[in-house]
């Protein structure tokens, strides 16, 4: 993913090359479309949908050996605490 600066563009220019703007957004850019005194419009990639724990559990097959016991929350907290290093994914990820 390309680390791009925010692109400010007029509404008129945005209309001329909307497909080009979408290409920039797909590469990670944020587009701010401005039109005089009106509040700007901001375009960026959408956040991926997230599942709740209940939805994840519902996806388990009926014969899954996974169990959720009374210590589940503390197990999760311990796993998170054990991995507090910063996440630095590769630029292409």
Specify which residues 33 forms β-bridges with: 9, 41
Half-sphere exposure of 60 (CA within 13 A, CB side): 12
Classify residue 32: in a domain, yes or no: yes
Count the domains in the chain. Answer: 1
Q: Is the pLDDT of residue 1 over 70?
A: no
Q: Round to whole Å and give the CA distance between 35 and 64.
A: 55
16 vs 67: which has the higher pLDDT: 16
Q: Which domain holds residue 18?
A: 7-43
Classify residue 67: in a domain, yes or no: no
* Strand, helix or coil for residue 90: coil
Specify which residues 81 forms β-bridges with: none
Kindly report the CATH number assigned to the domain that includes residue 34.
3.40.1620.10
* Short-list 7, 13, 15, 4, CA closest to 43: 7
85 vs 4: which has the higher pLDDT: 85
Which pLDDT does position 4 carry in this prediction? 65
Which pLDDT does position 34 carry in this prediction? 93
pLDDT 10s digits, 9-56: 999 999 999 999 999 998 889 999 998 888 889 999 888 888 888 888
| pLDDT interval class at 3 (50, 70, 90) | low
Runs of H (alpha helix) within the chain: 11-16, 18-26, 53-58, 72-81
Which pLDDT does position 5 carry in this prediction? 80
92 vs 93: which has the higher pLDDT: 92
* Token duo for residue 10: 């007029």
């Amino acid at each position: 993913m390309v680390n791009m600066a925010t692109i400010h563009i007029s509404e008129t220019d945005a209309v001329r090359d909307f497909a080009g703007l979408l290409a920039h957004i797909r590469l990670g850019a944020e587009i701010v479309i401005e039109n005089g005194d009106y509040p700007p419009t901001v375009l960026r990639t959408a956040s991926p949908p997230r599942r709740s724990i209940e939805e994840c559990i519902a996806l388990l097959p009926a014969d899954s050996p996974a169990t959720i016991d009374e210590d589940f929350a503390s197990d999760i907290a311990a796993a998170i605490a054990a991995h507090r290093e910063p996440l630095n994914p590769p630029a292409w990820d």
